[in-house]
Amino acid sequence: MYPKPGPHPITRFRRARRTAALRALTQENVLSPSDLIWPMFVMDGEGEEMPVPSMPGVSRLTIDKLVDQVKEAQALDIPAVCIFPYTDPKLKTEFCEEAWNPDNLSNRAVRAIKDAVPDIAVMTDVALDPYNINGHDGIVRDGVILNDESVEALARMALAQAAAGADILGPSDMMDGRIGAMRAGLEAAGHKDVTIMSYAAKYASAFYGPFRDAVGASGALVGDKKTYQMNPGNSDEALRLVARDLEEGADMVMVKPGLPYLDICRRVKETFGAPTYAYQVSGEYAMALAAGAQGWIDEDAVMMESVMAFKRAGCDGILTYFAPRVARALHE
């Protein structure tokens, strides 16, 4: 593919690495605040925040404080935030009706953000787990996660989020056919310009543990999510899922988790050329923080290196809890 480099000493790769200026000049990939999506957790109440123990530096915030944090995102030139609700356990039901309540916590948060910070892109999560008594992303009957019934509920949920003003819908549920159903529903309701970032290749991963604590789903979850999330041993299947979701109307696609699945990011970007994102998930964040706290790694350096790795793998952007820290470092 490339001409073979000449032999040493005609070729000395170290020449271009000798000074910081030469290294900067020959750097292939660049990270910018505009590559970042900042995931945030919202809870009921006012003027309060509750730290997530397994995610140091991350807190659930009441809507007023969440809006302040979104202002901070904007000041840091981060173009998008992603909202996850910590739902009152009393609102969780078998059929997840709270998911499409126009005034549920997530929808109220979206409206408050769009009111106060209209220019930032707001992304929402489309999945039933925050509202489900059994913690699953879909509706469960006799221990089986029902696909088509879940898709109906998810499409309703997506419409409520679009009506609240979400710019990007993020279906993270992994039911089959949900993108098509959402896209048809959005068109029919006149929400023609709402984008969908499909969690297209989402793996059944052990790296989501701290997130489930943050949204209060860990205690609720009965069993695992292996009948709908992907088998970590698969790669070709990710391409078929991305092809399917793009065809059904996704504008952007995501690979999740992040670092352990960079090969998937690369294949997806090369195969489709579509806007491709990775989610550096809660467990990845928690691992870096835990090792950093022990003094076993240089946390800041590991953070920047890991986020850069996504760009190198071909991603157009990264959802990461490190977003504000990375943006701050880039502004220094």
Active site residue 114: no
Q: Which one, 107 or 282, has the nearer CB to ligand PBG?
A: 282
Tell me which of 65, 256, 269, 311 is the catalytic residue.
Answer: 256
Beta carbon of residue 96, minimum distance to ligand PBG (angstroms, whole number): 12
State how far Cα 304 lies from the chain centre. 18
DSSP letters spanning 162-192:
HHHT-SEEEE-S--TTHHHHHHHHHHHTT-T
Q: What single-letter amino acid sits at 115?
A: D
Which of 41, 100, 203, 211 touches ligand PBG (CB under 6 A)?
211
Active site residue 256: yes
Say how far apart CA 328 and CA 231 lie, in whole Å.
Answer: 36
Binding string, residues 70-109; x marks residues near ligand PBG by CB under 6 A: ----------------------------------------
- Asked if 208 is part of the footprint of ligand PBG (rule: CB under 6 A), the reply reads yes
- How far apart are CB 255 and ligand PBG at their closest, in Å? 13
Least separation in angstroms between residue 118's CB and ligand PBG is: 25
Residue type present at position 210: P
* Shortest distance (Å) from residue 163 CB to ligand PBG: 21
Number of residues that bind ligand PBG (CB under 6 A): 11
Ramachandran sector of residue 96 (left: φ over 0; alpha: ψ -120 to 50; beta: rest)? left
Q: Residue 127 interacts with ligand PBG (CB under 6 A)?
A: yes
Residue closest to 203 by CA, chosen among 287, 247, 263: 263
Asked if residue 137 binds ligand PBG (CB under 6 A), the reply is yes
Looking only at the bridges linking them, the beta strands covering 36-43 and 59-62 are parallel
* Contact residue for ligand PBG among 35, 62, 78, 129 (CB under 6 A): 129
Q: According to DSSP H, which parts of the chain are helical?
A: 20-25, 63-75, 105-116, 147-164, 178-188, 209-214, 236-248, 262-272, 282-293, 299-312, 323-331
Q: Does 261 bind ligand PBG (CB under 6 A)?
A: no
**The token pair that represents 255 in the structure block:** 């690979």
172 binds ligand PBG (CB under 6 A): yes
Phi, psi of 152 (to 5 degrees): -60, -45
Site for ligand PBG in 278-317 (CB under 6 A): 281-282
Question: Which residue's CB comes closest to ligand PBG?
Answer: 211
The reply to whether 132 sits near ligand PBG by the rule CB under 6 A is no
Q: In this structure, are residues 236 and 181 in contact, taking their beta carbons and an 8 Å threshold?
A: no
Which candidate in 92, 202, 269, 311 is catalytic?
202
Beta carbon of residue 58, minimum distance to ligand PBG (angstroms, whole number) = 10
Write the DSSP assignment of 291-326 as a string of letters: HHHTTSS-HHHHHHHHHHHHHHTT-SEEEETTHHHH
Which CB atom, from 116 or from 209, has the smaller least distance to ligand PBG? 209
User: Can residue 125 be called a binding residue for ligand PBG (CB under 6 A)?
Assistant: yes
Nearer to ligand PBG, 183 or 225 (CB): 225
> Minimum CB separation from ligand PBG for residue 68, in Å?
22
Give dist(CA 239, CA 41) in Å, integer: 30
Q: Which residues bind ligand PBG (CB under 6 A)?
A: 125, 127, 129, 137, 172, 208, 211-212, 225, 281-282
**Which residues are part of the catalytic machinery?**
202, 256
